[in-house]
Structure 1
Amino acid sequence: MTGRMSWQPARLVHRRVETPTAQTLVLQVPGWAAHLPGQHVDIRLTASDGYQAARSYSLAAPADGDRVEVTVQRVPDGEVSPFLVEGYREGDPVEVRGPIGGWFIWRPAQTEPVLLVAGGSGVVPLMAMIRARRAAGNRVPFRLIYSVRTPSDVFYAEELRHRVRDDAGLDVAYVYTRETPEGWRGEPHRVGLADVSAHGWPPNLEPVAYICGPTGFVEAVSDLLVGLGHPAGRVRTERFGPTG
């Protein structure tokens, strides 16, 4: 499902604060067809003098009529993200192009166990998969390993707590790289072999893995999984750089 690749008008209808520097934007896109969890869109801004700037953002939720959700992390000195997080108001127009992507997607018809590994804002397309699984009534077990710098950097914190509480098929393990919550056992560290061994799936169950985050993070986790015996073809990756 690649969608129309022309620019479509969109307007902000709602926003939710996720962290001190990130917000989820709900956009109304008239005529939006549909999309799959894991896909992304381009968002373009046009200034009063005609200058345009566009950035790509992962879709954060399954299709809901003509509404789409993206979660935007403000990048200091960025061209687009500071406006979307701080200056974009309900009713304001932007342009959207997509959906984009055909490899890093999860379909509700899939039956294999799923391992999701997120680095920072890389959790956004993985959250779309978690939400789509629940919406479809799919009982395939999901495990999420979520690496963040500090507890205040967790996207969707309250929703994830509720989903884990209410869904025995979903497990979430956090890895903190700079600061841990009060009472947390263990020291800050990066995702390593012990984490993917303890919170992932063994290769004999033939899971499919989705890894999203900064390039170095994605490459390191991919190498760990392949080293444990997971076929490279079942390890799907999406990486991003510090564009804003």
Structure 2
Amino acid sequence: MTVREHNSQHEHAQSLPLLSESATVTAVNAMDRDRRSEIRRKLLAVGARHGFEDAIPDAGPIDWTAVFEAATSANRRLAPQIGAFRDRYERAHPALVSVTLDVDSPVDFAAGQYISLRYDGRTRPYSVASSPNRDELELCIRRVPDGRLSPKLCDDLSVGDKVTVRGPNGHLLLENQSKRDLAFLATGTGVAPMKSMLDYLFEDGRDTHRGEPRDVWLFLGAAWEDDLPYHGAFQDRAATHDNFHYVPCLSRESWLADWTGETEYIQDALLKYVEERALDDAVFGQHIAELLRTRPDVDIEARIDPHELEVYACGINAMVYSLETAVTRLGVPTNHVHCEGYG
């Protein structure tokens, strides 16, 4: 299996075929929330419980250096939580937006491909999040601090603006329809090509084979719940399709809210839903035993047979390479593993 690295697409983006020099922005929607008030309330509660509430003002600026010193003096184990609160409190908002474009003429692209977007003299590639069956293109954009284009898109892009669109390109594509079940794994905006594939799958009936349903899994990882792109849409699909199993994995949300779902990395969460006989054959040792003990109480009875699985993954390189190792140990054939990494 070859992991295609998304970073290599930046230089190539400006040379893609021109689709439109005047595509119209029809929607720009923030997908995350400003959670500073939530964080302050939770911080005050943690401070009261551990005796450092005097370092936290009820209003106005927060001296995070003073809070961190007071918190870690009270309990060193609070360092990761306070650091996470600081990072989230100080990050610009919005940090995650969906952008919808009306291109001059229909765009012929395959689910999973990307286009390049040029705005304010700057060009970057973005995976298409919408189905090829839709008339408009939808993009999912994460703010990259000090990035060339994403801060401009998050802060300045407005309905009615004109942008240049080139493409499409990319080789993270759905395989021919078969009886194999499907597992999509993504972190953050890596879910954009996955959403395009999933929408297309269910619209065109590719979630079945010869009348039999295929189990379709989505493991989506992020730090915070509102960092999960299309979270509500995936929950709705899981509620209306018995063969769609959505497993969101959040590493930090439980520090701030009552999150009772998965907190593992998605490649570890995947292992919790694999048939036990396949785990017996794989080499995971004590690690898998500990993971199975922390399986949350979720209403998913289906289990994954890795020998009958097609895997698609997109996200940060560390996750993608770790996933490759995990699914290889499970016995998924390498020609049925399709990955794209970035960062």
TM range (shorter): 0.7 to 0.9
Note the aligned Cα RMSD (angstroms).
Answer: 2.0
1:19 is paired with a residue whose SS is: coil
8 A Cα contact 2:144 2:151, kept in partner: yes
Q: Which residue of 1 aligns with 2:271?
A: 197
- Out of 80, 88, 94, the residue aligned to residue 157 of structure 2 is 88
How far did 1:198 drift?
Answer: 2.5
1:118 and 2:220 matched? no
Q: Residue by residue, what CA displacement relative to the aligned partner does 1:111-141 show, whole Å, maximum 9, x if unpaired?
A: 4211001112211111111111121133332
Q: Which residue of 2 aligns with 1:70?
A: 139
Identical positions, percent: 23
Q: Which residue of 1 aligns with 2:17?
A: 5
Distance 1:110 1:15 in 2: 37
Q: Which residue of 1 aligns with 2:301?
A: none
Q: Residue by residue, what CA displacement relative to the aligned partner does 1:143-182 show, whole Å, maximum 9, x if unpaired?
A: 0111111212111121111111001111011222223351
Distance 2:260 2:134 in 1: 41
Q: Which residue of 2 aligns with 1:61?
A: 130
Q: Normalised by the size of structure 2, how large is the TM-score?
A: 0.62
Distance 1:133 1:64 in 2: 11
How far did 1:18 drift?
Answer: 1.7
Q: How do residues 54-203 of structure 1 correspond to structure 2 at under 5 angstroms?
A: 54-64=123-133, 66-102=135-171, 104-106=172-174, 109-139=177-207, 140-180=214-254, 181-182=257-258, 184=260, 188-193=263-268, 195-199=269-273, 201-203=304-306
1:211 and 2:313 matched? yes
The one-letter amino acid of 1:114's match is L
Stretches (4+) displaced over 6 A: none
- Whose helix proportion is higher, 1 or 2? 2
Q: Normalised by the size of structure 1, how large is the TM-score?
A: 0.86
Pick the structure with greater CA Rg.
Answer: 2
The one-letter amino acid of 2:340's match is E
1:15 is paired with a residue whose SS is: strand
How far did 1:64 drift?
Answer: 4.4
Q: Which runs of 5+ in 1 are unaligned?
A: none
Aligned length: 229
Cα pair distance change 1:66/1:179, threshold 3 Å: closer
Q: Which residue of 1 aligns with 2:30?
A: 17
Q: Residue by residue, what CA displacement relative to the aligned partner does 1:56-100 show, whole Å, maximum 9, x if unpaired?
A: 111001124642111111111112111112211111111111111
Distance 2:181 2:147 in 1: 38
Distance 2:333 2:272 in 1: 19
**Of 149-158 and 217-226, the range deviating more from structure 2:** 149-158
- Whose strand proportion is higher, 1 or 2? 1
Cα pair distance change 1:127/1:185, threshold 3 Å: closer
